[in-house]
Structure 1
Amino acid sequence: MSVIEAVDKVEIRILVDNATDVLSSNPSFVESEAAFIGRRGMTNSARCLCCAVHGLSCLVTVHRGGKSHAVLFDTGPEDYAFERNVTRLGVDLGVVESIVLSHGHWDHSGAMLLALGMIRGRNGARTVPFYAHPGMFVTRGVRQANGSVRRMDDVPSVIELSDFGAAMVVTTEPQTPLGGLFYVSGEILRVSGFERGYPGQVKRTADGWEPDELLMDERWLAVNIAGKGLVVLSACSHAGIVNVCRHARATFPDIPIHAVMGGLHLSGPNEAIIPQTVGGLKEFDIKTIAAGHCTGWRAMTALAKEFPDALAPTAVGKQFTF
């Protein structure tokens, strides 16, 4: 049976995301970038602002019994945005005790080597446990209408990550970092019937480009908030957010899903499954849907209509506290 320890509180700081939003009102458990800047005594100035890029990175900090533990979940697509946002938010990456890479795409891994350097520059040069799936380390692309393949940037290799101080844990099996305060899923079961992954994705093998739409290397990260339930982070939901939630519920049948966070990948060709996805989410009674990154504006509109009290979009610099 899978085990996840209950924690008193979790804080999730959005370091990289597709959107920036300093003006919209937020629920009481969400602090905006502007509010955070103001709380730190800084002025409204362009010199304080973070930047938005296509990607996602979250610093997840749990608190239990007066102690805190932090995990870095992805790093976004490139060094500039990651370093700028971490610096302007005043985030001390030296507290990071583990890294989880959600799946093998450039927009989640592009600043990983920089992040390792920043962490180890603050933690006494200690190695950092790094959780990954073996299927991440392949060359990928997207098949175009004319039959050509648009190649993606590769994820940093196991050798590169190790050279930068990562203590690699490369496995298809679920993991429980930091004594079970965090849970990294194994491969996500595909059961919904309508969530088919990343249409058109291929991977390069010795025999050429082969279909790779299911992205079986994708995994979710969860924490368990005492008295509330699971907060599930699904960075891109290529497996489908309904499949992710069903997998989380099957893994922890006695713990409700309190919140889901991340990209729901309902843009592009996946806009076709927005109605089924919105309908499928109704079965979980989720209190907070913190969607962002690759969700897409059409899906955001549908979610806002169906879940007006639950939807709390992510944006750069926001902190969610459960």
Structure 2
Amino acid sequence: MAPSLVAVDQLTVDVITDNVSDTYASKPPFAVSELANIMQAGAQEISGTTLLVANLGYGLRLTTRQGSKEHVLLFDTGTEGAAFLRNCRNLALDLGTVEEVAITHGHWDHMGALEAAVGAIVARRGQGNVTVNVNPGMFNERGVLLQNGTIFPAARVPTPAQLEAWGARVSNDGDARLLLDGHFYYSGEIPRVTSFETGREDHLCRRDNSEEWRPDPYLMDERMLVVNVRDLGLIVFSACSHAGIVNVCTEVRRLFPDIPIHAVMAACISAA
């Protein structure tokens, strides 16, 4: 895979959905603040309606440029459509530029806004002009085992059939693949190789209501995304890192042994 991953000249990351607002958070020099972004998008004042909504989950718009060629990919969507669409509006992000969507794993806080996102993209691009990348393991029913023994189910995520009905093409495959002229590497299953990243013991799954719940600590449907930026190296995108961030980075080093990891960006970095 490594020779086929293009070294792009530029990568821009727009944070659409995140767990926190950055208004009072310290920021690295290369990051543009939320306030600066909404001002650039045309906000005339600081108010509750012009700022962004923080919510559980994660959603990024990734834009790459290599020579004169530009590609735009959506990396997860976050929890729910209203917050996602409001943040896109306040940031003046044109969802019509999104060519593909890469989903990390089948949890509602990363796919909950997918219907709204696909709808907005299709409204601009037309039916069948956006591809959603998933794998079959993402569509199990999920639940959490509480300390009192109660199983608390999680909201079901959109199925491939629903995505197609909303106007998306669906790439539902467990294998790794290169996306958009090789600008993005979308992984296959991430090997669990460390002894200390043991997953979530409270996590359960089942295919449907006809099955009994079974342990699912490792969430093997989780995927990562990698971009190679010229003169910098690899930018690794994870989400909840249920695989464990050390496992994620170990797999990236195995796949691309000759390219340094420059940065890792994730919603929450877990080693357990």
- 1:38 and 2:39 correspond: yes
Alpha-carbon displacement from aligned partner over 1:295-316 (angstroms, at most 9, x marks no partner) = xxxxxxxxxxxxxxxxxxxxxx
Cα contact 1:238–1:264 (8 A) shared by 2? no
Q: Give the match for residue 107 of structure 1.
A: 109
Q: Which amino acid aligns with 1:247?
A: E
Q: 1 CA distance for matches of 2:111 and 2:79?
A: 6
Deviation at 1:29, TM superposition (A): 1.2
Q: 2 CA distance for matches of 1:49 and 1:161?
A: 30
SS in structure 2 of the partner of residue 121 of structure 1: helix
Q: Which amino acid aligns with 2:99?
A: E
What percentage of aligned pairs have identical amino acids?
Answer: 44
Cα contact 2:100–2:130 (8 A) shared by 1? yes
Distance verdict in 2 for CA 1:19–1:49, change over 3 Å:
same
Q: Give the match for residue 170 of structure 2.
A: 168
Q: 2 CA distance for matches of 1:123 and 1:263?
A: 28
Q: 2 CA distance for matches of 1:63 and 1:131?
A: 21
Cα contact 2:186–2:225 (8 A) shared by 1? yes
Distance verdict in 2 for CA 1:162–1:126, change over 3 Å:
closer
Cα contact 2:57–2:267 (8 A) shared by 1? no
Q: TM-score, normalised by structure 1?
A: 0.80
Q: 2 CA distance for matches of 1:133 and 1:193?
A: 26
SS in structure 1 of the partner of residue 253 of structure 2: helix
Q: Give the match for residue 212 of structure 1.
A: 216
Q: Which amino acid aligns with 1:31?
A: V
- 1:193 and 2:195 correspond: yes
**Where does structure 2 lack aligned partners over 5 or more consecutive residues?**
none
Deviation at 1:41, TM superposition (A): 4.8
Q: 2 CA distance for matches of 1:214 and 1:23?
A: 34
Cα contact 1:240–1:264 (8 A) shared by 2? no
Deviation at 1:60, TM superposition (A): 0.6
Cα contact 2:105–2:138 (8 A) shared by 1? yes
**Where does structure 1 lack aligned partners over 5 or more consecutive residues?**
274-322
Alignment of 1:256-275 (within 5 A): 256-266=260-270
Deviation at 1:5, TM superposition (A): 0.6
Q: Which has the higher contact order (CA 8 A, sep 6+)?
A: 1
Q: 1 CA distance for matches of 2:220 and 2:173?
A: 12
Deviation at 1:128, TM superposition (A): 1.2
| Greater fraction of residues in helix | 1
Deviation at 1:28, TM superposition (A): 2.3
Q: 1 CA distance for matches of 2:144 and 2:31?
A: 36
SS in structure 2 of the partner of residue 31 of structure 1: coil
- 1:252 and 2:256 correspond: yes
